[in-house]
Amino acid sequence: MSEITNKTFLNPDSYHRYDLYADFVAGLNEKDLVTTYTELKPLFAEAFAELGYSDVDFDKRMQSVFTMVANAPIIEDPIELSYFSVNYQFADPNLEALPNAQKLLIRMGPENTRKIKAAVKKLQASFPAQ
């Protein structure tokens, strides 16, 4: 968080806390991404069912998640925050209304978001919609 002219903004320095994760994902080629996803898929599907989503097809849900991540905005301009209770939220109601995963990507910063989106697009291409 940074304060500029009595307003609070998301601090771009905080983006770097996600660099390790984004760099790891970005460093995987398409084959490695698919292999890793395929190996972990049974664990993901089991956790998905344990969360109460046994009536939803995991693969179809992942396709919708891939699409949502691929469509996440990349914001280069300063992002104003407002204080709500004990948490900060985006002052722009359009940003605050985004799905939580897209808001996380915004908090990761534009460069890390580009890396994650590129990896997701590779996965999307490897697992066509059913």
Contact 106, 72 (CB under 8 A): yes
16-22-74-110 Cα dihedral, nearest 10 degrees: 30
Residues 68-119 have pLDDT tens digits of 999 999 999 999 998 766 788 999 999 999 999 999 999 999 999 999 999 9
In one letter, which amino acid is 54? S
Rounded CA gap, 88 and 96, in Å? 10
Give the pLDDT band of residue 129 (cuts 50, 70, 90).
low
Domain, as residue range, for 86: 2-126
63: tokens are 């396709």
Three-state DSSP class for residue 63: helix
Sequence-distant (≥ 6) Cβ neighbours of residue 94 within 8 angstroms: none
Domain count, the chain: 1
